[in-house]
Chains A and B, each alone.
Chain A
Amino acid sequence: MTRVVTSHSDVSDVSNADSGQAHPRPMAKNVARGRRRWRGWLLPLFLIALLEVVVRSGLVPSYLMPAPSELAVTLAELAEGALWQHIAASTGRVLAGFMCGAVLALLIGAIVGISRSVEAYIDPTFQALRAVPGLAWVPLLLIWLGIGESSKITLIAIGSFFPIYMNLVAGIRNVDRKLVEVGDMYHFSRLEKIRRIFVPAAQPYLFTGLRNGLSMAWLCVVAAELLAATQGIGYLLTDGREVSRPDLVLIAIVSLAVMGKLTDTLLKVVEERSLRWRDAFSAAN
């Protein structure tokens, strides 16, 4: 059962001058949302059931593809300790790298977004660097920074920087000139305009960038850990391949999916709270 919560819009009943044109919030929204969320579980559950049947019936040999029930056993073993260490190691790297990339992208993106002349100096270089696949940096980072944490975090920072930077610049360029003029009218300084008009107005783009940046961060952490690590989900992947245990590899993959989805959901919740003001289209059922 989904819990049905209906709420009235807190202002729709304050009738006043010119009212009657304000839009009431649809009451069935929460019910529909609950139902949609439930639908998302159908596909993975069906795939797991199908896999179990296929492996048990012997259509696929179990040394290549362990049955989901066997995976559960491996998962239970790993969950006694090792798995959490790997997840924690990777998550820590992702967060550290993502933070560095995001802070740099915010600073540089805001400056490039606001100033055409800075853009003319910087942007072509950044566009060229953006074209370099993240993995190409790995050898260089290993030579420069060694196989420790700093090379991994740098790689993640580079990977997450570009989507955030690109989206923020695009967002600032899309800010309504008419709103900027309101700032001109009040003789706002450039910094004030950035802080009070450009950045809030660019928020929808910024969040798209942050979420893309976060998924890039997970991509990069695996790349970094595949090459040189003794801990982390990427290490679990290499380990599974070396000892020919597809169950380890699959659990690592599932962990990546779960962690990626979890961190993205967290960011999405923040996004929805911050962008509550937005008067955007929300798709019908």
Chain B
Amino acid sequence: MTDVLSLDVHEKRFGDTLILDHVHVGIKPREVVALLGPSGCGKSTLLRIASGLDRDYVGQVRLLDHSRQQQGARRVAFIFQEPRLMPWLTVEENVSFSDGKRADTGRAHALLSEVGLAGWERALPKQLSGGMAQRVAIARGLYSQPDVLLLDEPFSAVDAFTRMRLQDLLLSIADSHSIAILLVTHDIDESLYLADRVLVMGSHPGTILHTINVPLPRPRERTDGRLSTLKVEALESLHGAHAF
């Protein structure tokens, strides 16, 4: 199958420091891929390159080219570590932020009820808890009907219970919208619970050291013994990366 997103970064530098060195990531349609690695290994940078936010690198980012029916549809959407909602806009206006005044309110409302926030359309971001705000951010990401959702440690700032709920929400959304996911995380359990493939990254410079396939069907049990076995594998390759 053709990759829906193919990242081919030969070299990425900040000044004289080499951040990414020959990193290749291909994502198939509907696939969930996690980038796992210690802080500073360049995984967030890689994600920013994939989203087009960072264009200062040597290499190529290719997106599966097919004509989209909806105008203004974007093939990748980015969900940041923080919700980054516009505090002066209501929840529904935030969801349809990319369209401004030409917003499709119906779609925004449908997405909000999908993320469990029906009834909060007219609330302001300051009235939301951290988990709710991140749900709004997910709805905003989905609003532009992407093929690939890029997420940069999206659940690192919420409590453990909210995180588990949001992880399940993300999986069900990816499934119902048929989108692929590229997720950056430093949480081993999160990467193994969510992903079909976990790419373990090492730092200085950032490279992909190891690929762990997670051939388990969904929904997965968090207590599944096979996940524990894979966790050992992940920990070993992270040790190899001198991440500890």
Contacts and interface: CB of A to CB of B under 8 A. Distances in A.
- A and B together in one complex: yes
Interface of A: 9, 11-12, 14, 16-23, 178-179, 181-182, 184-187, 192, 196-197, 200-201, 203, 276-279
A33 B40 CA distance: 50
8 nearest interchain CB pairs? A21-B129, A279-B126, A18-B131, A17-B116, A277-B88, A14-B119, A186-B98, A18-B132
B155 interface: no
Contact of B124 (A19, A179, A277): A277
Contacts of B82: 178
Contacts of B15: none
A180 B240 CA distance: 38
Interface centre among B119, B144, B165 (most CB of A within 10 A): B119
B51 interface: yes
B130 A201 contact: no
Contacts of B116: 16-17
**Prevailing SS type, chain B contact patch:** loop
Nearest to B140: A182
Interface residues of B, number: 36
Interface of B: 51-53, 74, 77-78, 80, 82, 84, 86-89, 97-98, 100, 116-120, 122-132, 135, 144, 162, 165
A187 B122 CA distance: 26
Nearest to A20: B129
21 contacts: A11-B119, A11-B122, A14-B120, A16-B119, A16-B132, A17-B131, A18-B132, A18-B135, A19-B129, A20-B129, A21-B131, A22-B128, A178-B80, A178-B84, A181-B80, A182-B80, A186-B74, A187-B52, A201-B88, A277-B124, A279-B126
A200 B125 CA distance: 15
A22 B127 contact: yes
